[in-house]
Chains A and B, each alone.
Chain A
Amino acid sequence: MTITIRAVDKRFGRYPALNNIGLEVRDGELLALLGPSGSGKTTLLRVIAGLEFPEAGQVLFGGQDVTYAHAAARQVGFVFQQYALFKHMTVAKNVAFGLDVRKAADRPSKADIAARVAELLKLVELDGLGGRFPSQLSGGQRQRVALARALAVSPQVLLLDEPFGALDATVRKSLRRELRRIHDATGVTTIFVTHDQEEALELADRVAILNKGQIEQVGAPQEVHDNPASAFVCGFVGEANRLVGEVTQGRFRSGAIQVPAPGVAPGAASAYIRPYDIVAGAPGEGFEATVRRIVLHGPVARVETVLDGGQPIEASFAREDLNGAVQGGRVTLKIKQAHLFPVVQG
């Protein structure tokens, strides 16, 4: 199911939550809505689900306008951050709920529902736990139940709102892989919301990055990381050193640091440099800095340095390139690549 979002506006009182959002979700893809809190990502998900209605714009499911259709009519599966399970029902009853509430004519037989429940519990690896109550399950298990319940109605779209937000790091990692596996097994178009860039980059086919109610960039994880469309994306996705400076005569200058700036308009600009785009330089090339701390991660050395002007710079390169650098000593560093963005005045 292709989902098209056209020029959607949504405000809460005077506060604009979504501002002219346009997005195309491809059939069968796993898309992440990534952004800081307050960026509007959850609101956008709820607009797609029919739990929130926009003031302007359109939401289309496979070409059909569902902007103001009720949640029940959209055939979406929604997974909430806090599970939202029915506490008074067993796991099996929770999963069967979407089928149980159908009108008699559309409702599968009891045996069919039981078979479907068993199949789904197997899919989320909870076989045999159908008789338990949600209170008897761990957080990770509860979220699996919520996932099975959402999938039970064979939704056209699966929507997940920070599905791993309430779980601890280990469970989150394993459930993340699980979601990818389930997505690949069912092939259902899936959109999930997260503020965790690692989660988004690892799990999604494509990532849509939101900031202040607007979409900054949509693309494959590698693409948004390597070619960020805006300063915000560059700062939010992946790590980066941020330098403020000026572009003159095709070069960006900030203190001792200079990088070529082809095609960047002269004037105030900021440079975002990934730690792993900074390498150890031979004496005479690049710039010098004082080492504050060296942290070794196996073969990789993370070198925290500070420039003479006080600007901190973090570099990350192979351990053997350290060349005897020590804490408190001086190192020569060279910038391989920088992302430059003109500073917007105002």
Chain B
Amino acid sequence: MELSDLGPLWLTLRLAAVTTLALLVIGTPLAWWLAFTRARIRPAVEAVTALPLVLPPTVMGFYLLVLMSPDTALGGAWVRLTGDTLSFSFTGLVVASVVYSLPFMVQPLQSAFEAVGRAPVEAAATLGAGPLDWFLTVASPLAFRGYLTAMVLTFAHTIGEFGVVLMVGGNIPGQTRVISIAVYEHVETLDYAAAHGLSAILLGFSFVVLLAVYAMNGGRLARAR
């Protein structure tokens, strides 16, 4: 395998890590809200959150591409702020991945919070713990398995994405050329040996990660979803 192929691998891992961290910050409060709110708009928010599960990645990617173009409010503001376009950049790829992987973070967390329930949190409040305190010291540790599941699924799903990346990011080495794009290009150019190499790395990596989580979780991953 050529050394240039390690670029996409590294970029892919970086993208998955940044996306997972960003979704941890965004997804945790959203999942908590969905788990316990009695607001009427909850079903609507749940539906929007689950959209990436059913929409073809190309459709998602298309909308994101349109949204990120410098002609729109979002894309224009980004250009004025950073001097760079959001589309066809690593940042744009992170934004797209965050949207695309949102249900993989939110749904396991929501189930985990629902399983923890309000009971231990109420107990903590009566002992003098404020909301941030009880969230960090009671709700989160009790939902630990949910966090583990959510983070692994988000990470793995981001690594495996293709359609959205292709639409939003294109194929710029070091910027947006992730592993799935690289494999696709190798196949297009009939370089099966390189495609085999990268694919094997991805296959092996994915299996090892999932195996580790299932082993740690005692087979509870599937149920936690």
The finding on whether chains A and B are genuine partners in a shared complex, rather than unrelated, reads no
Residue positions of A touching B, CB distance < 8 A:
none
Residue positions of B touching A, CB distance < 8 A:
none
